[in-house]
Amino acid sequence: MKKTFLLTILFLGFTMSSDAQMNILFIESDDQSNQALGAYGNPAMITPNIDKLAKEGSSFTAAYNMGCWSPAVCIPSRTMLIYGKYLWESQEINKQNAPKSLPEKLHDSGYYTFMTGKWHAMGKNVKEIFDETGSIQPGQLKTYNSPAGHITDITASEAVSFVKTYNNDKPFFAYVAFNAPHVPRQTKQKYYDLYPADNIKLPASFSDKMPLNKNVKYQYAPDPLRIKTMQW
């Protein structure tokens, strides 16, 4: 079938008539601030592909997460996304009471659904709500390096392979969820080389030996923070 795409990095909701269905490729990155993208005003960031998407598509520059019930927003934000529920409703979702999810609704509307990458949401198991899954990663990785390669490369390769080999009269919904750039922030040397530590400019509010906030449960850096740590 002819492959026409709706590419999105923020899904808010839509209705789709049966005679106008298109393929949907949903790409998601984890813990990536808009300040870490060249498209949104940071010239130090080398993100040509995302910049191109922002330039040729639509950008939602005033979309905010409603909050969270945990130290991190991973589970709350993904649960709200997958089930279309407000924050306080999402917190109550479990395997027994989970409402029909986004991929299940798309399946009911004639879509074939696929997912690869990070799964970190309340409710049902990922294999229960998608027609097909690739390599599924947990919420927190100890390392991005695996015998099969870097996790980011694996997720990307599986997504590309799915799109290129898809042969079905049904339109598809492909949910591609990258763990990166969430910690432990490991990548290939060629990407580190793009950002020499001495060239990294820190915010004016940062000072050397800055103490961490003791009220934050999860800390991913030594206390106190040092300039070299932040630049690296």
Q: Please write the tens of the pLDDT for every residue from 15-73.
A: 444 456 899 999 999 988 888 899 998 888 999 999 999 999 888 888 888 888 877 78
- For residues 171 and 124, what is the distance between their CA atoms, to the nearest angstrom? 24
Interatomic CA distance for residues 41 and 61, integer angstroms = 12
Q: Return the pLDDT at 219.
A: 77
pLDDT per residue as tens digits for the range 98-157: 999 999 999 999 999 999 999 999 999 999 999 999 999 998 899 999 999 999 999 999
**Mean pLDDT, rounded, for 4-8:** 46
Q: Please determine, for residue 14, whether its predicted confidence score (pLDDT) is greater than 50.
A: no
Give me the mean pLDDT over the 79-87 stretch: 94
Condensed to tens digits (0 to 9), the pLDDT of residues 211-231 reads 888 887 777 788 888 888 887
Alpha helix locations (H) across the chain? 48-56, 74-83, 87-90, 102-108, 126-129, 151-165, 189-192, 227-231
pLDDT of residue 56: 93
Strand partners, 132: 114
Whether 173 has a pLDDT exceeding 80, the answer reads yes
Q: Could you give the 3-state DSSP secondary structure of residue 25? A: strand
Q: How confident is the model at residue 159 (pLDDT cuts 50, 70, 90)?
A: very high
- The reported pLDDT for the residue numbered 215 is 81
Whether 1 has a pLDDT exceeding 50, the answer reads no
Residue 87 falls in which region: left (phi positive, over 0), alpha (psi -120 to 50) or beta: alpha
Cβ(22)–Cβ(6) below 8 Å = yes
- In sequence order, the 6+-apart residues with CB closer than 8 A to the CB of 107 are 113, 131
Region 80-91 average pLDDT: 94
Which tokens go with 132?
């097909």
Mean pLDDT of 178-188: 90
What pLDDT shows up at residue 231?
A: 78
Q: Backbone phi, then psi, for 104, in 5-degree steps?
A: -70, -40
